[in-house]
Chain A
Amino acid sequence: MKLKQLEGLLGDLQQFSNPKIELEQYPTGPHIASRMLYTAENSFGDVSDKVVADFGCGCGTLGIAATLLGAEHVVGIDVDAQSLEVASLNAEELEVQMNFVQCDIKNLQFRGLTIDTVVMNPPFGTRKKGADMVFLSSALKVASQAVYSLHKTSTRDHIKRAALRDFNASTAEVLCELIYDVPQLYKFHKKREVDIAVDLWRFVPKRAQ
């Protein structure tokens, strides 16, 4: 599948109707989502025929992108029932199969190393400090091949240090810098739309070597 085609399909997905600020629910736009999964597949072979988990899947954009690129089994995990319902409908709409589990990432308990790749757009930890770190540490615990994640560019040094020193990553690499256009979703948003710089990361857990 071509990048433009993937982006087009993801652009039709339904997004949060009543986003919850305490969960930092922001949709992953089709531009970013398609580039993230396309890179994972075409530069690293981390998607097709693999088992992929989408952490904090929200409306399922990243996980659905993985299924469209040929992942064999995709599990979306989110704490919020309403998001999972939308995600489930989105998958149905595109006629792709995806599994969902309602769970708080910090209490996730997975057996073994069945999951090859974790993809995620975690909360950036702006409302609840450290939320991004909880996601990153859990992802590096269950992924056997790679973790793809988005983090604010302003936190780059911190992310790298934590991944390598505390979360058992063997490499932590910024693949590219992207612009995340945050729409005016919440009442406290003063501007109509804000662009923030985010990094697309690829982490490799130590055991993958």
Chain B
Amino acid sequence: MRLLTHNMLSCNIKGVTNGFPLIIEAEKVLEKPVDLNPDFLRNMFHKVEWKALVDAAKSLGYSELPESVDPAMLESPEFLHRFHHALLELHLEEGALVCPETGRKFPVNKGIPNMLLHEDEV
């Protein structure tokens, strides 16, 4: 699972109001190279929750993203490269996503998070 997917997932338990971002517990991380698309990144920059991405990347062992950003940085090839790597090339393969409000763990196996709810959570 890419961190772009993580950036849109939020805890779906009924009644949870602060279910984003899910905390990552990483057991196995993969890197899968993919072509860099500058226009896509410039568009995504305005849609991603930056802090969530920075923290998620750190939990996968990548701490090259700046904590604070502004759109002018999109002119820098170096910045684009780091953003691209964190957003699209790092994959959480095994581990868990943890709800920040309830502590409920959603397991991730073979890169697929299991967000199925128990009966009393719907």
Question: Contact flags (1/0) for B16-40 with A, using CB distance below 8 Å?
Answer: 0001100000000000101001011
Partner-B contacts on A (CB < 8 A): 49, 51, 72-73, 75, 79, 81, 84-85, 88, 97, 99-104, 107-115
Interface residues on chain B, size class = 20 to 34
A22 to chain B, nearest CB (A): 15
Asked if residues B9 and A110 are in contact (CB atoms below 8 Å), the reply is yes
Is the C-beta of B56 less than 8 angstroms from some C-beta in chain A? no
Interface majority SS (helix, strand, loop, mixed), chain B: loop
Q: Which residue of B lies closest to A73 (CB)?
A: B4
Question: What 6 pairs between A and B have smallest CB-CB spacing?
Answer: A109-B12, A103-B115, A99-B5, A102-B114, A100-B112, A114-B8
Interchain CA distance A81-B113 in the complex, whole Å: 10
Is the CB–CB distance between A103 and B34 below 8 Å?
no
CB distance from A34 to the nearest CB of B (A): 24
What B residues does A114 contact at CB under 8 A?
A: 4, 7-8, 44, 47-48
Q: Within the complex, which residue of A51, A88, A109 is in contact with B4, where a contact is CB–CB below 8 Å? A: A51
Would you call A49 and B37 a contact (CB within 8 A)? yes
CB pair A72–B40 under 8 Å, yes or no, is yes
Enumerate chain B residues within 8 angstroms of A109, measured Cβ to Cβ: 9-12, 19
Residues from chain B with a CB closer than 8 A to the CB of A101 are 1, 5, 9, 112-113, 115
Pairwise interchain contact B115-A102, C-beta atoms closer than 8 A:
yes
Closest B residue to A115 using CB positions: B8
B51 to chain A, nearest CB (A): 13
Candidate in B1, B5, B20, B37 with the most chain A CB atoms within 10 angstroms = B5
- Most B CB contacts (10 A, CB to CB) among A81, A88, A103, A104 go to A103
Told that A111-B9, A114-B7, A114-B8 touch, could you supply 7 new A-B pairs with CB distance under 8 A?
Answer: A97-B32, A99-B2, A101-B113, A104-B117, A107-B12, A109-B12, A111-B10
* Bound Cα distance A88, B109 (Å): 12
Would you list which residues of chain B between 105 and 122 have a CB under 8 Å from chain A? 110-117, 122
B40 touches A112 (CB 8 A): no
Chain A residues positioned under 8 Å from B32 (CB to CB): 97
B12 & A103 in contact (Cβ 8 Å cutoff): yes
Decide if B101 is an interface residue (CB 8 Å cutoff): no
Are B7's CB and A73's CB within 8 A?
A: no
* Cβ contacts A to B, 22 pairs, < 8 Å: A73-B2, A75-B5, A85-B110, A88-B110, A88-B112, A97-B34, A99-B4, A99-B111, A100-B1, A101-B9, A101-B113, A102-B114, A102-B116, A103-B115, A104-B116, A104-B117, A108-B12, A109-B12, A109-B19, A110-B9, A110-B10, A111-B8
